[in-house]
Amino acid sequence: MGAALAVVVLTLAIGWSIAPVLSPADRVLRAVAAATVAALWLAAAIGHVAALRFESPADIDAAASGSGDSPRVAIANAVLRNTLEQVMLAIPAYLALAWVVEGSGAMVPMLAALFSVGRTLFWASYARGAAARAFGFALTFYSSVAALVIVLVALVGRLI
């Protein structure tokens, strides 16, 4: 978890140092692109659950019949649920960062890249347990939280 935090901080520092001067509209456009990346991860997770259910007659009606999901579908649902949570945190973070922080032009796409790497690692290692998926989770989560903290600091700085 600490390594993921270090990667996020380093990535954001690099993004800040190479920040292009962009208009608010161009920054928000980058945030919309980043939000689309996050939403595509959600679509992939939904599609994965649907595909697994379609492959197995027992899983097609498992939720409706009360018989419970197979282990494969249960894992896919857990990944989907966590991805939904992460997307719901990331999208407003990207939009807020782009709107509030003038130097966010490079940070927002970098956050989308961290999100994608984090989701890939989380998804690929989910079945191996919490320790195996921790780095992917943390990379996804900390990047969104860091964006929100930066926005909060910028807003408080404007009020002081």
3-state secondary structure of 101: coil
- What pLDDT is attached to residue 66? 65
**Residue-wise pLDDT tens digits, 125-137:** 999 999 999 999 9
Q: Give the pLDDT confidence of 14-70 residue by residue, as tens digits.
A: 999 998 889 999 999 999 999 999 999 999 999 999 999 888 877 776 666 666 788
What are the b/e assignments for 72-101, b being 16+ CB within 10 Å? bbebbbebbebbeebbebbbebbbbbbebb
* pTM, entire model: 0.90
Residue 62 confidence (pLDDT):
64
- Kindly give, in sequence order, each residue whose CB lies less than 8 Å from that of residue 36, ignoring residues fewer than 6 positions away: none
Cα–Cα dist 44/143, whole Å = 20
Q: What percent of the chain is predicted at pLDDT more than 70?
A: 96
pLDDT at 76: 95
pLDDT of the residue at 153: 97
**Triad 65, 71, 74: Cα angle to 5°:** 70
Question: Over pLDDT 90: what percentage of the chain?
Answer: 81
Measured in degrees and rounded to the nearest 5, phi and psi for residue 136 equal -65, -45
Looking at the predicted structure, is the pLDDT value of residue 145 above 70? yes
Helix (H) or strand (E) holding 160: none
Closest CA to 114 of 79, 143, 73: 143
Q: What is the mean pLDDT of residues 72-76?
A: 92
The average confidence (pLDDT) of the chain is 93
Residue-wise pLDDT tens digits, 99-108: 999 999 999 9
Residue 33, CA atoms < 13 Å, CB-side half-sphere: 15
Q: 79-121: per-residue pLDDT in tens? A: 999 999 999 999 999 999 999 999 999 999 999 999 999 999 9
